[in-house]
Structure 1
């Protein structure tokens, strides 16, 4: 009778989606490690084929240099549990800022502190349109993360009516106190990359400090500090995070195939999980949803 070794498919899927992303310490069935020990496998018989199967259990994250309490706080936010106080006295920094403009300034400050090879960047959920073709609505054809501040102080997606200026490098309206936020999506400033950088990744290119990354440019990559803009697809309702597929611009995440289950909520959850776990030393947050932003601010002040 034929014998094979096979990883449990569901567990392996979780491993690919999470361990590669977040870093993990893993153990197999029976508590044994995945170091080639045969005792880690259990045998099953499928239609006359004997298969030795091992399920991998994710136990600990290495990517975030933070205490268990801090990692748990981030997980609680992502998983829709009540948002408690941000753990105090931690070397890992979690800060909640008042606007996307402030978030950009904080990240640029971190890059300055880090020097020539600073790896701190802005990221955002996929809640603003993006396409490989040029954007006909922006002067330079870029796709941007656009927001403006309403008279009541609330930040809303999009620019004000009549504002067709798009991204302006070094513009004064990008500074502290501005009521306008407009930065290109990944590779929007220099689609051909920086001169002399060859195949450097998105975050390693100096001009990308003025861009906003996504799961597609940052997945599997470590930053020193991540500034995350949580867009309108992530909301706080009845004290818990919920996901709103109607406001996401990611068709890959939200398209429901006929006759198939709707995985939109899980996909948007996974997107948030990737974005909030990129920073090794710190995470800076701004949420478009007023209720979520207020809850995050309250969590930072307790």
Structure 2
């Protein structure tokens, strides 16, 4: 309703083509856009063709500038590109990234223990995961949300500034709590929403294990239904974001056995 009301107030009608980008243009004289399409994590984000057109317009006006470095991850651009190749299936074995601590775990409890140790040492160390389990504890705080082997974990109790909340170290944060935040160490759980097909040799999406309603919501307004391949791209982007939150290091645990074996080939347990 609010979307319709805003469109009508700004443009006099509720044309289905209007987006929040149009709102920005309507309410400002100059615009500066910082775009990273690899951080688009849900269907409600601006469509890729819209942002691509924006880039082309900027190029034509000689006002397009590519950012070639980032200031969060100590592993640098090499690490960012490594994560991209991991999910593209083009990475050929382990790499090292200087002092950046990248570790792959077969035991989720051991990874959690290490995150607690890092938090004692340097602070701002948290467990984060893809939205591959229902948020049962939202309505019943006694519920366990994430059960992996003998370890039961709960989702973030708050979505507002979760990282700095008093109970965050004991909890697991979702994409909605960490996008835009920095951590010193991130313990990333790649959940059963992703798997690996050894026949096609590709990462696959398991819709039944993806529990973000907004993350897989179709758009009846525009007559759009999202396929598993569409949603795979969004979920992979989520994990790219999660795996690039850690300034000093990233720890990784993969739930799906076939995917764990496949991705594990690109991590050196000694690093």
Q: More strand per residue: 1 or 2?
A: 1
Is 2:78–2:97's contact at 8 Å kept on the other side of the alignment?
no
Matches within 5 A, 1:189-200: none
Deviation at 1:65, TM superposition (A): 1.2
Counterpart for residue 135 of structure 2:
130
Deviation at 1:42, TM superposition (A): 4.3
In the alignment, structure 2 segments of 5+ residues that lack a partner are 1-27, 41-53
- Can you list the C-alpha shifts for 1:172-227, whole angstroms capped at 9, x where unaligned? xxxxxxxx11111102xxx6x9xxxxx8x322234311110111111111000100
Matches within 5 A, 1:80-119: 80-88=88-96, 90-114=98-122, 118-119=123-124
Alignment partners' CA distance in 1, 2:59 and 2:211: 42
Counterpart for residue 244 of structure 1:
206
Is 1:14–2:35 an aligned residue pair? yes
Counterpart for residue 186 of structure 1:
156
Counterpart for residue 232 of structure 2:
265
Counterpart for residue 256 of structure 1:
218
Deviation at 1:271, TM superposition (A): 1.3
From 166, 176, 189, the counterpart of 1:229: 189
Is 2:137–2:154's contact at 8 Å kept on the other side of the alignment?
no
Distance 1:29 1:98, change over 3 A: closer
Is 1:145–2:146 an aligned residue pair? yes
Distance 1:13 1:81, change over 3 A: farther
Q: More helix per residue: 1 or 2?
A: 2
Is 2:95–2:266's contact at 8 Å kept on the other side of the alignment?
no
Alignment partners' CA distance in 2, 1:29 and 1:294: 38
In the alignment, structure 1 segments of 5+ residues that lack a partner are 20-27, 31-39, 44-52, 149-179, 194-198
Q: CA RMSD in A?
A: 3.3
Is 1:97–1:284's contact at 8 Å kept on the other side of the alignment?
yes
Alignment partners' CA distance in 2, 1:5 and 1:104: 49
**SS at structure 1 position matched to 2:127:** strand
Deviation at 1:256, TM superposition (A): 2.3
Distance 1:67 1:15, change over 3 A: closer
Distance 1:6 1:261, change over 3 A: farther
Aligned length: 221
Counterpart for residue 276 of structure 1:
243
Deviation at 1:124, TM superposition (A): 0.7
- Can you list the C-alpha shifts for 1:228-258, whole angstroms capped at 9, x where unaligned? 0000112223444333323201111112234
Is 1:83–1:240's contact at 8 Å kept on the other side of the alignment?
no
Deviation at 1:112, TM superposition (A): 1.5
**SS at structure 2 position matched to 1:64:** coil
Query: How does the TM-score come out when normalised to structure 1?
Result: 0.63
Is 1:64–2:73 an aligned residue pair? yes
Query: How does the TM-score come out when normalised to structure 2?
Result: 0.70
Is 2:188–2:252's contact at 8 Å kept on the other side of the alignment?
yes
Is 2:125–2:185's contact at 8 Å kept on the other side of the alignment?
yes
Counterpart for residue 120 of structure 1:
125
Choose between structure 1 and 2 for higher RCO, CA contacts under 8 A separated by at least 6 residues. Answer: 2
